[in-house]
Amino acid sequence: MLYIVPTPIGNLEDMTLRAIRVLKEVSVVLAEDTRTSKRLLDHFEIKTPLRAFHAHNEHAVVERVVDELASGVDMALVSDAGTPGISDPGFLLSRACRRKGVRVECLPGATAFVPALVASGLPCDTFHFEGFLPHKKGRQTRLKYLSALPHTFVLYESPFRLIKCLEELKEHCGPEREACVARELSKKFEEVKTASIADLITHFSSKEVKGEIVVVVAGA
């Protein structure tokens, strides 16, 4: 069995009792960053061995991991924060397990875009999740496509590129399109601000921005 286990995006109280139990019971925890995950496991007094599984090695180790799982070893996959497979490693392993007949079970839990989308006040009955935009090649093509969508869309962004992203959104969507920037979700300095794209640029240009960013944009 492969368990896909969400971990808190900030507040450790968001760790579920089931997630703690599963991490204690499996033989191995596959982690995006073993140093980050060790701090989490130590906090909850979980002694399960950790093994690295990240974007730089997943192609190389997927087959070996799936063979271990198929032999009867139970493992859990965690990312640094949130649900594995959402804009971080995990998809390749899940797919390989399904193809080999290994059971995959994903626990419900934290992921950044859901609270950002719901708290934004923008329509969320239908939405498009884009995740991270390409840094260079294809970026403007994706922005052009997204700007024409009739429903809300969601991006992930680095704090260092937030203003650049908002400026590009202004160019493609217009300065008055309503949007929301959510950062530091579930943490002490959580901020969720909904305004026009032009006003968001003004607001975030006047301060130092920290934390992972979710940008939610109203449909055309």
Strands of 5-102 (E only): list them. Answer: 28-31, 50-52, 75-78
pLDDT beyond 80 at 8: yes
pTM of the model: 0.91
Question: Residue 166 has what pLDDT?
Answer: 98
Q: Which long-range contacts (CB under 8 A, 24 or more apart) does 194-201 make?
A: 194/120, 194/121, 194/122, 197/166, 197/169, 197/170, 197/173, 198/170, 200/166, 201/163, 201/166, 201/167, 201/170
Residues 59-69: what's their mean pLDDT? 91
Question: Tens digits of per-residue pLDDT, 22-46?
Answer: 999 999 999 999 999 999 999 999 9
Kind and range of the H or E element at 156?
Answer: strand 152-157
Q: Is the pLDDT of residue 198 over 90?
A: yes
Q: From 1.20.900.10, 3.30.1360.230, 3.40.50.720, 3.40.1010.10, which CATH number describes the 2-106 domain?
A: 3.40.1010.10
User: Which residue has 């937030």 as its token pair?
Assistant: 162
When the pLDDT of each residue in the chain is averaged and rounded to a whole number, the result is: 95
C-beta separation of 162 from 214 below 8 A = no
Least confident interval from 1-15, 84-98, 112-126, 162-176: 84-98
pLDDT at 105: 97
- pLDDT, residue 108, reads 95
Domain boundaries defined on the chain: 2-106, 113-217
Query: What percent of the chain is modeled with pLDDT above 70?
Result: 100
- Average of per-residue pLDDT across 83-105: 91
Q: Using the predicted structure, report yes or no on whether residue 67 has a pLDDT greater than 80.
A: yes
Please report, to the nearest 10 degrees, the dihedral formed by the alpha carbons of residues 188, 87, 4, 118 taken in order.
50
**Residue among 87, 84, 102 nearest 29 (CA):** 84
For 162-200, the DSSP string reads HHHHHHHHHHHH-TTSEEEEEESTTSTT-EEEEEEHHHH
CATH topology of domain 113-217: 3.30.950
